[in-house]
Chains A and B, each alone.
Chain A
Amino acid sequence: MGNVCTLSAVELCQALRKGEVSSRALTRAYLERIDALEPKLQAFLTLTPDLALQQADLADQVLFEWRKDTARLLPPLTGLPIVIKDLLCQRGVRTTCGSRILENFIPPYSATAVQRLLDAGVVTLGKTNTDEFAMGSSTENSAYQITRNPWNLTRVPGGSSGGSAAAVASAMAPLALGTDTGGSVRQPAAFCGVTGLKPTYGRVPRYGLIAYGSSLDSVGVLARSAADAAMLFQHMAGYDPLDASAMDVPVPRYSLQDKRDMRGLRIGVPEQYFITGIQHEVEQAVRNAITAMQGLGAEVVEISLPHTKYALPVYYLIAPAEASANLARYDGVRFGLRVDDPNMTALTRKSRGAGFGPEVKRRIMLGTYALSAGYYDAYYGQAQKVRTLIKQDFEKAFEQVDVIAAPVTPSTAFKIGEHNEDPLAMYLEDVFTLPANLAGVPGLAFPVGFDGEGLPIGMQLMGRHFDEQTLLQAAHTYQLFTDWHTRRPEF
């Protein structure tokens, strides 16, 4: 076999089964690639090569036994390497959330999504960089390091799942787990030219996902293609008795057909997502993709999501409000960073002061304010009402169409440091991705072109609650005809 790192995850699973490559060889190949590229990209906060090789050896044994008797049950992803955003707990592996306050936190449990993949046989290479507690759109808010965009090392990879996106784009891993609270899977997928799925809220259990905005957080996938994403997602989805918000909705088999047309698919194009200020090449690439889909038989319908403009302020009230409570547990008492003081209150104050970065502190203050007596109704209460209107926008739209197509971001990857002085400009990066989180609907980002500087452009499809299948199938069909998703950055 040539360079195994260039194969898709679906192909790798087949090769592992056939014995064309061992999990150990595959894992070593990825670890070597990480060794070579990581100094430039800084995508990982923790690497676990010993654990990975152990898992790989075990996988090879399982595969060996299985090949002797293929009637036996084989865990479907046996031997396949993945990487995990450092916001998801993995038992025995340091999990920092990109924060100093969890610098030495080793969870005694794995997130349900992680555990399900381990049960399915994956090999875990390491934990990827993230904006601190997922608060950011560039991964620059990590307390540890700045991850670079593999397409241009002066650019951000997006965020907060920037480490995962950069790892997949640079083929340091075939697949990665991310989390998406306001676009944190889709936006870095778009910036790095990979495929990113944010499932329906409640589709993948949140247990072990370290909370930022609990009513918005979802565990997602970053992959090289819709087919690869579907394969991983298949084994993460479904009801979990440990998560009261994980819904008991049957999980279909996400078997994507090599369908070469899109007849019967109604694509909604919302006017509110094609606004002035959007980078011309981005708009053009997205419109071209929609036209291509129309050419494949899809019906294109102009639609309206009238409350889109409120998504940003609504999100920046609800998410910080929830975060202000979610992050209260970091008090220096039971785990994480402790700055000692004989006075209990001072101990907590000092530990938090030293442990949290500026963006986290900003959002805790925003959220605390929004929930305060006398302001609750005007801010948090009002935001919840408008959130309902945004949900209703989607419900109405999905009476007319099957999916909604839109750009993921107003522009391609921006320069590192570009938004340092202006948090609001950074918040605006998420303007197209926030509504799906507020409505709880699934969203899938995938590459549809490149701009003049060679930076990838992404498009997103949003779908009905629990209808990830339609999104994945549409993107898959599109990817049968296009090669944007197969292009790789040069190093």
Chain B
Amino acid sequence: MNYLADIGLEVHAELATRSKMFCACPVVDPALAQPNQAVCPVCLGLPGTLPVVNQQAVEFGLRVALALDCTIAPVSIFARKNYFYPDLPKGYQISQYEEPLAEHGILPIRTPQGVRNIRIRRVHLEEDTGKLTHVLADGEAYSLVDLNRAGVPLLEIVSEPDLHTVEEVRVYAESLRSLLCTLGVNSGDMEKGAIRFEANVSIRPAGSSDLGTRVEIKNLNSFKAMERAVAYQIGQQARLLDAGKAVEQETLGWDADREVTYSQRSKEEAHDYRYFPEPDLPPLGVEAAQVERIRQNLPELPFALQERLIQQYGISAEEAHLLSVDGNLANYFESCVRLAEDMPARIVLNWITGEVFAWMNQTGESIQQIKVPPEALIGLLNEVQQKIVNLNTAKSIMSEMLQSGQTAQVIIQQKGLQQVTDSNLIAAMVKEVLAAHPDEVKAYLDGKETLANWLFGQVMRRAGGKADPHMIRTELESQLKNMTKNTLRREGEK
């Protein structure tokens, strides 16, 4: 049977504020900080301490909510979500429940099938938990608690189950990530857990309008894990329904090693979190003027940027997507195009998606970190256009620029990489090569035309790779043609 999947995502994004959600502790890099370095009586949950709302987190939350075109609640309510776990110091998490910061938004995404508007159910503020490490050493099992992360502001963004394919899920997640990065509210660093996903998945027979029973998959910490887990569940549910069985409502985990989901809790075991309004915090009021100010100052958002790049530069949706994932990338591209004047945008784009992306992938540098600013890249491309260097030389120059930060001009000067464009010199080199390889020339003249490329390579090698390839080709063709004529003439004389 054919099924349609309905998938909703819950995204937890750490907000890149200076301090935690409810205390003055700094938000620290988990890779660099000592355990329990950034803690205080408030985020340790010591008795008598009280939370105070971080206004920067509210501002960041509003930025995201407005970028998602949500309706902002003039007053929202913090609530306590009660459960025991050693990584939760107070025994409750301060979150928002019945009256969240914002509701009813839209995130447009573009897939190969076209543009779709994914509905956002709600956006709310909460605090992160600490981290447990389970240790088994010398036959003894114990757990270590690190509360550096406890109290870090989180924004939870919940979509409606509007996604139908694994591809849409991926594009939605990537789009949301690039939105958060563009807004400057999240590091986008998935490996450090700056963005975490939970997916709810159900399937229904194609044509049916009733949603199926859904499962929730928790703790998906990478795009890959999310795609695999969702795909796995869709398959699993289809097999169940095909076999005439029912899908059980439950909460699942994802085993990344075995690539299977496993049951964490059945419906009966579901937690009762006993949410109630947080009495330590007054309702969170948001002034219309503040909302307006934030709205006015929103940057160009990734989706709008992507659509504009397609329109303005005639590039493909896929390429535009690649550039708009990070606003800085698109910025780099556009700066280059602006500097390049009459050079086609396509040439610039190929260099960015080629050499630059390869370098960034290899080194992990961001577009802001690379040592080749737009001016330098265009400087190199100008050398190519003016035939000072050929394309291959340019690529090796670029790789050196990325490493050393030198300009193309300097590298060309220092290494004497100027292209040979002296037509006499090139003619002489062609002549030498033809004279040195009479057998190959003869074979060519006998019709083995592919040898033209081989001969071209020989000339280029003789020129140390620095000759203008176009000129070599022209000269080679003309000298070979002459030889053909001469041969024909000689044959006629016989």
B489 at the interface (CB under 8 A from A): no
**Is B47 a contact of A244 with CB atoms below 8 Å?**
no
Residues of A67-109 contacting chain B, CB below 8 A: 88-89, 95, 97, 102, 105, 107-109
| 1/0 contact string of A107-119 vs chain B (CB within 8 Å) | 1110100000000
Q: State which residues 198-257 of A face B: CB under 8 Å.
A: 206-211, 213-215, 241-245
Contact A244–B84 (Cβ < 8 Å) = no
Candidates B47, B274, B279; contact of A368 at CB < 8 Å = B274
Is A385 interfacial (CB 8 A cutoff)? no
B89 interface residue, CB < 8 Å from A? yes
Closest A residue to B78 by beta carbon equals: A244
The answer to whether B347 has its CB under 8 Å from any CB of chain A is no
Contact of A215 among B272, B274, B279 (CB under 8 A): B279
A335-B46, A345-B84 are contacts. A329–B89 as well, Cβ < 8 Å?
Answer: yes
**B41 near A109: Cβ-Cβ < 8 Å:** yes
Report the Cα distance A172→B48, complex, angstroms: 27
Pairwise interchain contact B279-A322, C-beta atoms closer than 8 A: yes
List, in ascending order, chain B residues with CB within 8 A of A329's CB: 45-47, 89-91
Q: Is A97 a contact partner of B47 (Cβ separation < 8 A)?
A: yes
Q: Which of under 10, 10 to 19, 20 to 34, or 35 or more describes the interface residues of A?
A: 35 or more
Complex contacts, A335 vs chain B, CB 8 Å: 46
Please, how many angstroms separate the alpha-carbon atoms of A376 and B79 in the complex?
14
**A38 nearest CB across to chain B (Å):** 26
Check B92 against A325 for contact (C-beta < 8 Å).
yes
Task: State which of A209, A322, A368 has its C-beta within 8 Å of the C-beta of B48.
Answer: A209
Question: Interface stretch among B49-57, B168-176, B300-308, B353-361?
Answer: B49-57
Complex: chain A residue closest to B47, CB-CB: A210
Q: Does chain A have a CB within 8 A of B205?
A: no
Given contacts A108-B41, A109-B41, A244-B281, contact A89 B47 (CB under 8 A): yes
Pick from B89, B91, B141: contact of A325, CB under 8 Å: B91
Q: A372 and B274 in contact (CB under 8 A), knowing A108-B41, A245-B280, A325-B80?
A: yes
Q: Does B235 contact A (CB under 8 A)?
A: no
**Taking the complex as formed, is A275 at the interface, i.e. its CB lies under 8 A from any CB of chain B?**
no
* Interface size range on B against A: 20 to 34
* B86 / chain A contacts, CB cutoff of 8 Å: 331, 333, 344, 348
**With a CB–CB cut-off of 8 A, which chain A residues contact B51?**
244
Q: Is B276 an interface residue (CB 8 A)?
A: yes
A residues near B82, Cβ cutoff 8 Å: 324-325, 328, 371
Residue on A nearest B284 in the bound complex, by CB = A244
Judge whether A328 and B280 touch: CB under 8 Å.
Answer: no
- CB of B260 closer than 8 Å to a CB of A: no
Are B272 and A373 in touch, CB under 8 angstroms? Answer: yes
Query: Are A107 and B52 touching (Cβ within 8 A)?
Result: no
Q: Report the nearest A residue to B52, measured CB to CB.
A: A244
Is B48 a contact of A321 with CB atoms below 8 Å?
no
- Which parts of B251-278 form the interface with A (CB within 8 Å)? 272, 274-276
- Whether B84 pairs with A245 at a CB distance below 8 angstroms is no
Q: Which residue of chain B has its CB nearest to the CB of A110?
A: B48
Chain A residues positioned under 8 Å from B290 (CB to CB): none
Interface residues in B191-218 by Cβ distance below 8 A to A read none
Whether A244 pairs with B279 at a CB distance below 8 angstroms is no
Does residue A380 face the partner (Cβ distance < 8 Å to B)? yes
| Bound Cα distance A27, B282 (Å) | 41
Q: In the bound complex, how far is the Cα of B93 from the Cα of A329, in angstroms?
A: 11
Q: What residue in chain A is nearest B42 (Cβ atoms)?
A: A242
Contact B46 A245 (CB under 8 A): no
CB pair B84–A328 under 8 Å, yes or no, is: yes
The smallest C-beta distance from B152 to any residue of chain A, in angstroms, reads 18
Q: Indicate if A39 sits at the interface (CB-CB under 8 A).
A: no
Residues of B within 8 A of A345 (CB): 84
B44 at interface, CB cutoff 8 A: yes
In angstroms, Cα B272 to Cα A111, docked, is: 33
- A214→B280 contact, CB < 8 A: yes
Give chain B nearest CB distance to A67 CB in angstroms: 37
Shortest A127–chain B CB gap in Å is: 13
Contact partners of A244 in chain B: CB under 8 A: 50-53, 280-282
- Known contacts A215-B279, A327-B91, A333-B145; 5 additional CB pairs below 8 A are A207-B48, A244-B50, A325-B274, A331-B86, A372-B272
> Could you list 27 A-B pairs, sorted by A, with CB under 8 Å?
A89-B47, A97-B47, A107-B48, A109-B49, A111-B48, A211-B48, A214-B280, A242-B50, A244-B53, A244-B280, A244-B281, A245-B281, A321-B276, A325-B91, A325-B92, A325-B276, A328-B82, A328-B91, A329-B89, A329-B90, A331-B86, A331-B91, A333-B86, A334-B145, A345-B84, A371-B82, A372-B272
Chain A positions near chain B (C-beta within 8 angstroms) = 88-89, 95, 97, 102, 105, 107-109, 111, 206-211, 213-215, 241-245, 321-322, 324-325, 327-331, 333-335, 342, 344-345, 348, 368, 371-373, 376, 380
Those 3 A-B pairs whose CB atoms lie nearest each other, nearest first: A328-B91, A214-B279, A371-B274
